[in-house]
Amino acid sequence: MADTKKLYIKTYGCQMNVYDSERMAEAMGGAGYETTDTPDNADMILLNTCHIREKAAEKVYSELGRFKGLKAEKPDLKIGVAGCVAQAEGEEIMRRQPIVDLVVGPQAYHRLPEMEAKTQDGAKALDTDFPEEDKFEKLKNRPKAKRGPTAFLTVQEGCDKFCAFCVVPYTRGAEVSRPVDRVLSEARDLVERGVREITLLGQNVNAYHGVSGGGDKTLAQLIWELDKIDGLERIRFTTSHPNDMMDDLIEAHGTCSKLMPYLHLPVQSGSNKILKRMNRNHDRESYLRLIERIREARPDILLSGDFIVGFPEETEADFQDTMNLIEEVKYGQAYSFKYSTRPGTPAAERPLVDDSEASDRLYRLQALVAQQQREIQDSMVGREIQVLFERAGRFDGQMVGKSEYLHAVHVADCSAAIGELAKVRIVKSGTNSLAGELL
């Protein structure tokens, strides 16, 4: 029997890439590979890339440069680039870094075993197609190993929104939703293996319209189907677009006990002028009305957002509109970035805001969000909440889990087990986490 080969995967970016990396590992498991935590003893290295962050491609080339010595020591080592940078750069990756053996886009990674076999014969392999077949169905079944208490589950991919700053429609393709029965089957399998909380993933997850026997189902209808699964205690979803926040999904936040009171709803800017230039197809007023409706349905919901500062043509007045929106909404968490050009997007040809000014705006925005986050965390002290314990902490007897609101909670002298859902009283608010005592 041949020795098992080692696969090292480095994952960049969003939760969808984390999910994709898991599926790549499963696909390669069928080809005789098992994962390793270090590239040094790997027979194959895969970089699962993200094109959202600034200078994403250059960071990938830099990482590949670090593997040149390893490739020289181990000529049989196979190196691959997957994900959105692979989709965007294609053959350019192999041209700039000849050590790369294969390049695969995010819609074709189910073909990895065949591509790897091709490289064993000394050939290069490139696949950045958008194949018609369902990659999830083509992949090998998940191995029936025990899982941790939380898991990601991709239900929707691609984007039809074409925001002026974003490459996702070009790297992930058009919006497509997985059929309901396949999502439910995978969810049941995860629960059988120990998962108690599932986060549904999609580039625009609330645009989900999955085929079902009785016609397409919305994300809210899918959530209600998942609600029926015994042993599944918590449901989350990300990332959402304001224009796809339908009435039934808002209602589900108030009526479905398994749907957690946390919502990531990016707005990007509080300026109507900038929102129009971003091609967001909503304005600040409609966003604020939507927030009001969501909070009417679930008053205790914790909101998270995305913000881009320094977008082309953003003035200080535009930025103040964003700051005012943040003041009004009061976010428990947010992801914020300076605008960076993505070649091929409509905004790429527009003049940039002065970098020092954009940096100053980012600093001020992040300070405001940090203040709001701390105030919300401080308000949790004295409250009794439900914590799903996920792992042991840094100290003996300590356990760490997540609250309904996605806060990290540390509990000392904790008798709860990993995977247990228990009531905890919050006794202290710290930086990005809470401390509690088991009740």
Point out the annotated binding site for [4Fe-4S] cluster: 14, 50, 84, 159, 163, 166
Residues in the chain: 439
Strand 399-402 to strand 384-392: parallel, antiparallel, or no bridges (unpaired)? antiparallel
For residue 239, say if its preceding peptide bond is cis, omega within 30 degrees of 0: yes
Locate 435 and state its tokens: 């401390």
E-strand stretches of 15-83: 33-35, 44-49, 78-83
Q: Which residues are annotated as a binding site?
A: 14, 50, 84, 159, 163, 166
What is residue 362's three-state secondary structure? helix
Question: Nearest to residue 402, comparing CAs of 430, 436, 431?
Answer: 436
Q: Which amino acid is at 1?
A: M
Q: In what order do the strands lie in the sheet with 102-104?
A: 33-35, 5-11, 44-49, 78-83, 102-104, 125-127
Question: Nearest to residue 209, comparing CAs of 186, 177, 246, 235?
Answer: 177
What is residue 335's three-state secondary structure? strand
Q: Please answer whether residues 308 and 340 qualify as being in contact, where contact means their C-beta atoms are separated by less than 8 angstroms.
A: no
Locate 422 and state its tokens: 């228990």
How far lies 89's CA from each of 86, 102, 345, in Å?
5, 12, 14
**Calpha distance 357→207 (Å, rounded):** 35
Q: Where are the alpha helices (DSSP H) in 165-271?
A: 168-171, 180-192, 219-227, 247-255
**Calpha distance 137→49 (Å, rounded):** 23
Which residue shows structure tokens 């994952």?
Answer: 11
